[in-house]
Chains A and B, each alone.
Chain A
Amino acid sequence: MNMIEYITLPWDVLGIGALWLILMAFFVALPCSQMGSFLILRRMALTGDAISHSVFPGVVIAFYITGDLSSPWLIVGAGLAGLASTVIIELIHKWTRVKQDAATGISFTALFALGVLLMELLLGKNVDLDLECVLHGRLGLLLEDDRLALFGLMVPAPVLVMAGVALVTMVLLFFFCRVMMLSSFDADLAASFGYRPAVIHYGMMFVVSFIVVAAFQAVGAILVIALLILPGAAAYLCSYRLKVMLLIAALHALLSAVGGLYLHVWFNSNMAASVVVSGGVLFVLAWLLGPVDGVLWKWFKEEVPTPEESSDQVGNRLS
């Protein structure tokens, strides 16, 4: 095969299906990338991990009550379970001497295991709630899903759902970006302005739970974490400004989606894993070539402090 054939291969094989796969992966990765950027800045990257695992018992209980795997109550149940895990982390952290990282480890493993037990107890062992799917996602099966007509196009239903989630997240971000920035940077100053840090914290955690749950079916619990952390971390290495960082994180999400599709088609690999692998490659590129922190640039130019800075440093040492 020549170059051109490699590049057109997904479209030849999947037709418009290639577009749906890219859009789906992008709509999952986009809200993850934005909220994930804030999680990283708040040093709460592992909280995303905690939420993605602890939604499981919520899904099981909601499924037990409704008996319908496509019921919206599953998302509500999962969202509540995700919120419960962050509350448990706060409680342990606040009332005992156990620190935040250990509390996170306790909360999500215990809730996830509880979910496994509940599933076996309530639903029996051979049930439709497939653990394999929970862990690895079913993005690749997207094209077999029900379709809805939209502007004369038959759009797979999950793409529309995820597009809605992405839209809601971006709208929330548009309105609350400044509040989230201030409370992440300087919670004390935010509190002195009368913002309530606890409300902002749990509000953000609820939105993360909501995204994780929605993304859950598409990419699975483990890969959600990657999508929460990778774009923000790569963008963090590329910019010193929050808005630019969020923009780069979104771009990273888009490129991961496209790259993921190509890997998926070229190697016939799991689509979700392919998206994350291409996101990982992009992170390494940011690490090497990032405009502000890139290893390569540091290697090329030797750091020469400007005169006023060096004099200030001396002053610092003297005082």
Chain B
Amino acid sequence: MSDEQQPALETHDLTVAYHKRPALYGIDVAVPAGSLVGIVGPNGAGKSTFIKAVMGVVPSSGGWVKVFGKPLRENLHRVGYVPQRESVDWDFPVTVMDVALMGTYGGLGLFRRPGKAEKKRASEALEKVGMLPYSNRQIGNLSGGQQQRVFLARALAQDSDLYLMDEPFAGVDAATEAAIVTLLREMRERGKTVLVVHHDLQSAGEYFDRLLLLNMRLVAFGEVKDVYTRELLQKTYGGRLTILSEVADRAAKL
């Protein structure tokens, strides 16, 4: 099978438990290459957990993940991960350029140092998000929107085929939000596959082509026109009760 026909990301029965408390049950999903996917669901639905489990940042307690038809380990270089902005210490003594360069570390192995090629990639990525003029700034002096742009530049410098982004729209100004949307669409035009954890249901229907509705289980995955429906959204946000009763129904039929 050629690369284009392979799903960019495929998970089977992906399950995660924190301290024996389950956070995500049996997620089965196959994301076609070249799609822009929004992951939506209520707080605590396991949206971040899902992408962390895909990346192996949190250990999964069951199931498997394939990226372009191969186990994640073998295709790690084709995946870019953008953690939540609040997950790092912005007082850390690094500059905007240093952070963008970090995107190139994955391809360097343990010992090689970033050279000219890496610096060029990092500069281009910063240029794209409009942060090149700030490259010598300490990251703590940036606004929230600028910090998020730096994180995106770091992801662009990774030059991956599949991107997993954790809440890139959280706490950014309107101008940055628009810039990110433009950037995401441009990435899709270049054949990249992007999964974005998104907290705003209103804009989700307009920003993405596909939605992944999540509430500890997969509620639905499909094109926006098929899954952005009152019934499915209610099922996603209606609290755990509905899900549990459905499970009970299904169990009763067995």
Question: A41 touching B143 by the CB < 8 A rule?
Answer: no
Contact of B105 among A41, A182, A188, A245 (CB under 8 A): A182
Name the B residues within 8 Å of A297 (CB-CB).
none
Is A192's CB within 8 Å of the partner chain B?
A: yes
Is B81's CB within 8 Å of the partner chain A?
A: yes
Given A186-B83, A193-B106, check contact A316 B76 (CB 8 Å). Answer: no
Is B2's CB within 8 Å of the partner chain A?
A: no
Question: B93 touching A240 by the CB < 8 A rule?
Answer: yes
Mark interface residues in B132-146 (1 if CB within 8 Å of A CB, else 0): 000000101001111
Segment touching B, from A24-32, A106-114, A115-123, A173-181: A173-181
Q: Looking at the assembled complex, report how far the CB atom of A248 sits from the nearest CB atom of chain B, in whole angstroms.
A: 10
Interface size class of B (residues with CB under 8 A): 35 or more
Question: A318 touching B173 by the CB < 8 A rule?
Answer: yes
Contact of A188 among B57, B79, B171, B177 (CB under 8 A): B57
Question: B105 touching A178 by the CB < 8 A rule?
Answer: yes
Is B172's CB within 8 Å of the partner chain A?
A: yes
Is A242's CB within 8 Å of the partner chain B?
A: yes
Q: Which of A239-274 contact B (CB under 8 A)?
A: 239-242, 244-245
Q: Which has the most chain B C-beta neighbours within 10 Å: A43, A194, A316?
A: A316
Question: A312 touching B143 by the CB < 8 A rule?
Answer: yes
In this complex, how many residues of chain A approach chain B with their Cβ under 8 Å: the count is: 32
Question: B113 touching A178 by the CB < 8 A rule?
Answer: yes
> When chains A and B are docked, how far (Å) is the Cα of A2 from the Cα of B176?
64
> When chains A and B are docked, how far (Å) is the Cα of A240 from the Cα of B127?
22
Q: Which has the most chain B C-beta neighbours within 10 Å: A182, A192, A236, A241?
A: A192
Question: B56 touching A192 by the CB < 8 A rule?
Answer: yes
Mark interface residues in A288-319 (1 if CB within 8 Å of B CB, else 0): 00001000000000000000010011011011
Question: A319 touching B174 by the CB < 8 A rule?
Answer: yes
Q: Which of A179-205 contact B (CB under 8 A)?
A: 179, 181-182, 184-186, 188-189, 191-194
Contact of A236 among B93, B144, B177 (CB under 8 A): B93
> When chains A and B are docked, how far (Å) is the Cα of A168 from the Cα of B160?
37
Q: Which of B138-193 contact A (CB under 8 A)?
A: 138, 140, 143-146, 154, 171-177
Question: B102 touching A242 by the CB < 8 A rule?
Answer: no
Contact of B145 among A178, A191, A316 (CB under 8 A): A316
Question: A316 touching B144 by the CB < 8 A rule?
Answer: yes
Question: A312 touching B93 by the CB < 8 A rule?
Answer: no
Given A179-B110, A241-B95, A315-B145, check contact A188 B81 (CB 8 Å). Answer: yes
Contact of B81 among A178, A189, A241, A318 (CB under 8 A): A189
Question: B83 touching A189 by the CB < 8 A rule?
Answer: yes
Question: A242 touching B94 by the CB < 8 A rule?
Answer: yes
Name the A residues within 8 Å of B92 (CB-CB).
41, 184-185, 242
Name the A residues within 8 Å of B174 (CB-CB).
315, 318-319
Is B12's CB within 8 Å of the partner chain A?
A: no
Given A182-B105, A309-B143, A316-B144, check contact A192 B57 (CB 8 Å). Answer: yes
Contact of B94 among A175, A241, A316 (CB under 8 A): A241
Is B43's CB within 8 Å of the partner chain A?
A: no
Is B88's CB within 8 Å of the partner chain A?
A: yes
Question: A319 touching B81 by the CB < 8 A rule?
Answer: no
Q: Which of A148-193 contact B (CB under 8 A)?
A: 175-176, 178-179, 181-182, 184-186, 188-189, 191-193
Residue of A with least CB distance to B176: A315
Name the A residues within 8 Å of B94 (CB-CB).
181, 185, 240-242
> When chains A and B are docked, how far (Å) is the Cα of A233 from the Cα of B110?
27
Given A175-B111, A194-B73, A242-B94, check contact A188 B143 (CB 8 Å). Answer: no
> When chains A and B are docked, how far (Å) is the Cα of A245 from the Cα of B91?
13
Name the A residues within 8 Å of B144 (CB-CB).
316
> When chains A and B are docked, how far (Å) is the Cα of A197 from the Cα of B108?
17
Q: Looking at the assembled complex, report how far the CB atom of B42 sits from the nearest CB atom of chain A, in whole angstroms.
A: 22
Is B87's CB within 8 Å of the partner chain A?
A: yes
Is B30's CB within 8 Å of the partner chain A?
A: no
Is B52's CB within 8 Å of the partner chain A?
A: yes
Question: A316 touching B143 by the CB < 8 A rule?
Answer: yes
Q: Which has the most chain B C-beta neighbours within 10 Å: A185, A236, A242?
A: A185
Name the B residues within 8 Å of A240 (CB-CB).
93-95, 138, 140
Q: Which of A94-140 contact B (CB under 8 A)?
A: none
Residues of B within 8 A of A (CB): 52, 55-57, 73, 76, 79, 81, 83, 87-89, 92-95, 98-99, 102, 105-106, 108, 110-111, 113, 138, 140, 143-146, 154, 171-177
Q: List 12 A-B contacts (CB under 8 A).
A: A41-B92, A178-B108, A178-B113, A185-B88, A186-B87, A192-B55, A192-B57, A192-B76, A192-B106, A194-B76, A239-B93, A292-B138
State the 5 A-B residue pairs at the shortest beta-carbon distance, nearest first: A315-B173, A240-B138, A192-B81, A193-B106, A188-B83
